[in-house]
Structure 1
Amino acid sequence: MISISAFNPDLNVPNYINCSFPLIHEKLKSHGNVSFLSLLMNLQLNAVPVFSVPFGEEMKAFVDLSQLRLLGYRRWEEYYGISRERSVFPTFQEGLKAVRASILEQRLFLTSGATYYLPYFNRDYLNPGYIKNFGYGTDTGIYVVGNHWLSVYGMDQERLYVYDPIPNRYKDSISLEIFHAFWLGNRCIPQLADKLDIEKCLVYGTEEITVRKRHSMESALELFGKTLLTISSEYLKGACIESERCMHFFGRAADGKLYGLLDSGWREVQDYGKSFTQHVFNFRRNRQYYLEILKDYVHLMGRDDRFFLNRYLTIAGEWDAMQNSVAINVKRKRVDSLFWDTIMRRMKETMYLEEDFHEEMIEYLSGLGLTGLDKGEGEYHVQ
């Protein structure tokens, strides 16, 4: 057997982030780079709430983090100083040769494929529901076709050793046969041949990470501060951006729009409770993203910043409580005007707390001489 020596990755990672982030994080570390998972996953500004409302169809409003690109910032890889290049191998054997060469060089090898063939992936393994619901995520209901990524850290004649933390926290071996089926990907599953955008799924896909800037602890800490400052600034700015089909609300404007729809009688629509439950679930997730980066920043700074952490723990806790209350009461059909009034009051109070928090966070970070992330070329009109 050959393997990467002393490979001890973190398995306790948030299961709501993109599956590639822990792999990139570990790959950067294996190259001797300073890396923090919370920073990588927040450079996309996923902590900023975004609520998209189709014109004339408010009941079809949705939360879609991919719309954060409308704010005009650069790709997160540019801020961290890396580049990513995806490619495919013509045959399985050529791919295995590349896997072996990478491991011999003590480098993690990233591969894409279909979770439909992974036995430890209880949710998907040979599940007819995987075929039926292909492309529809459980969080938004938006159709998105992509690849699942895992990394290979060892191999022998019959098995490969993989690191696949999301969502199963798996670090162990799979047979060569299973790996082959996985690596062929979704495009090679016969039942998916006619699915929309199936051509976006890679066959024997891999990704190479090139480090263009090596971070010191000092430069990483500065990037932490810039990211936190940018998140707070965009939250308070509350941009409203019009695209072809929707109006997109960001930050406190997103919170305010969701609150406004609830206040305007949206809650009287049949089955609205299920939609609102999903919206609050996703808004709660924005706060989870922010909490992760704030925790690491506080730990690294080790000074008075726990004041901010304790305050934000209260805010995140309120979103947790609201989401749990709505989910339970909607499921049990215990929602009435009094219940919604209570949720609205709680939501309004939490919004005020969050606005105050971000105002003070901006004042604190600006006092350290920090500025926000620089933007790229914007192409949308901001109202």
Structure 2
Amino acid sequence: MDKITLASQLQLEFPYYYVCHYPLVDLHLRQNQGRSILSLLPNADFWSIPVFSVDTTDVVPNLVMQRGYKLFREGMDLFELTTTGESSFQEGLAQISASIKRNQPVILTGTTYELPHSPDFHNPNYLKPPTNSTLGGSFMVGDHYITVVGIGSEEVFIYDPIPNKFLGTISLESLEKFWRGNLQFPEFTQARGYSFLVTYGIINVTIAEHYQNKKFDSVAINVLNKVNTAFLEGRTRSRPGRLYLSGVALNTYIYEAFCAYYSTSGEIPQSLGKCLFDMRWSRYYLRDFLHDLDQELNLPVSELVDEILVIIQLWEEVYKSFLIIVRKNSQDNQTQVQKFITFLAGVIKREKEFHCQIQDWLSKTKVG
């Protein structure tokens, strides 16, 4: 079997909130650019900025988490993923073999329904797609990503860390079935995203030219500057019946929506609970990034790492306090509700000050 020579050891343990393609792109960067840190990638995709939308016609505010590209597409310029569908399985194998000989890993798209090591393998529930997405809105279908790092006459050696934690071989027969993707299943024809699916898909990773010749530290600092500036700007966008919010604008909206609804109805806007829960992911991504800047790149950000841990804990307390006042009759607990409002305002203020602290650090650091 022909295998690539790895620039670094492959990892299988990753935080549960990372999506499947990030370790694969991380591997690509390490092989081609010589250096990478995993947390750079979701931050380059603005996952560290909470972005939510709300239906402006709803009486009770119901914020739904959105992908960062809804507001920050033009800033996502570190890397681009494009998909090419090969004309046949044999043509695809030829492409994989040629890449492995050049010491290049190959990212493929396909369906976990045909991956023997996946819990989805021939699971009948897989072919019964839900009506709605867990993030809100209608269900959207997409293919899974794996990376081939070796190829032989009867099997391939693959890297499939998220969520399957798998590094090993599968037969060419299994690869062919996986590689047909979800496009082969008529059960998904009505789902959003179906028209973008391909058979025998290969993912091409393109690193932006203006980043390729920069020092890696400079690239990482630029990404931190982008996401931090975006948080403080609090970008919003309106369209008929819907408002998109991010960063400080989102925090302000949560505070004002809670206060307005409670003051007029005397009730707690319970729908805000899911938003308070889902916002944690963005802070986790930022925490990971600052930690890696400190530990992997040896940048002097240890105070920022300490503070983001405090910020995360404070927002966890906000969520727990929210659940407590929801469980109790708000009419009889006005004092507790007022304490919650005061605490929420203080946490929002401290988080903004934290991002100003990052901005101050960046202003003293060369951002190339």
Query: What TM-score does the superposition give when structure 2 sets the normalisation length?
Result: 0.85
SS in 1 for 2:64: coil
Q: How many residues align?
A: 361
Amino acid at match of 2:107: L
Query: 2:88·2:200 contact (CA, 8 Å) conserved in 1?
Result: yes
Query: 1:49·1:255 contact (CA, 8 Å) conserved in 2?
Result: no
How far off its partner does 1:163 sit? 1.0
Work out the CA distance in 2 between the residues paired with 1:320 and 1:127.
36
Question: Paired residue for 2:99, among 102, 117, 121?
Answer: 102
Q: Answer yes or no: is 1:365 the counterpart of 2:362.
A: yes
Q: For residue 282 of structure 2, what is the aligned residue in structure 1?
A: 286
Q: For residue 55 of structure 2, what is the aligned residue in structure 1?
A: 54
From the superposition, tell whether residues 135 and 180 of structure 1 become closer, same or farther in structure 2 (CA, over 3 Å).
farther
Q: Answer yes or no: is 1:312 the counterpart of 2:313.
A: no
**CA displacement, residues 72-108 of structure 1 (integer Å, 9 cap, x when unaligned):** 633x3x3x3x554321111112212222222222211
How far off its partner does 1:265 sit? 3.5
Q: Answer yes or no: is 1:125 the counterpart of 2:121.
A: yes
Work out the CA distance in 1 between the residues paired with 2:192 and 2:210.
38
From the superposition, tell whether residues 21 and 135 of structure 1 become closer, same or farther in structure 2 (CA, over 3 Å).
farther
Amino acid at match of 1:285: W
From the superposition, tell whether residues 368 and 12 of structure 1 become closer, same or farther in structure 2 (CA, over 3 Å).
same
Q: For residue 14 of structure 1, what is the aligned residue in structure 2?
A: 15
SS in 2 for 1:73: helix
**CA displacement, residues 276-334 of structure 1 (integer Å, 9 cap, x when unaligned):** 4431232000101111111111225536421111011111123345456767x79xx94
How far off its partner does 1:159 sit? 2.5
Q: Answer yes or no: is 1:356 the counterpart of 2:353.
A: yes
Question: Paired residue for 2:227, among 226, 231, 239?
Answer: 231
Query: 2:140·2:192 contact (CA, 8 Å) conserved in 1?
Result: no
Query: 2:50·2:246 contact (CA, 8 Å) conserved in 1?
Result: yes
Question: Paired residue for 1:222, among 194, 218, 222?
Answer: 218
From the superposition, tell whether residues 189 and 343 of structure 1 become closer, same or farther in structure 2 (CA, over 3 Å).
farther
From the superposition, tell whether residues 358 and 67 of structure 1 become closer, same or farther in structure 2 (CA, over 3 Å).
closer
Work out the CA distance in 1 between the residues paired with 2:16 and 2:288.
12
Unaligned runs of 5+ in 1: 372-383
Work out the CA distance in 2 between the residues paired with 1:340 and 1:117.
51
Q: Which moved more, 1:222-231 or 1:110-119?
A: 222-231
From the superposition, tell whether residues 164 and 323 of structure 1 become closer, same or farther in structure 2 (CA, over 3 Å).
farther
Query: What TM-score does the superposition give when structure 1 sets the normalisation length?
Result: 0.82
Unaligned runs of 5+ in 2: none
From the superposition, tell whether residues 269 and 67 of structure 1 become closer, same or farther in structure 2 (CA, over 3 Å).
farther
Q: For residue 256 of structure 1, what is the aligned residue in structure 2?
A: 252
Work out the CA distance in 2 between the residues paired with 1:87 and 1:65.
26
How far off its partner does 1:342 sit? 5.9
Identity of aligned residues (%): 25
Amino acid at match of 1:348: A
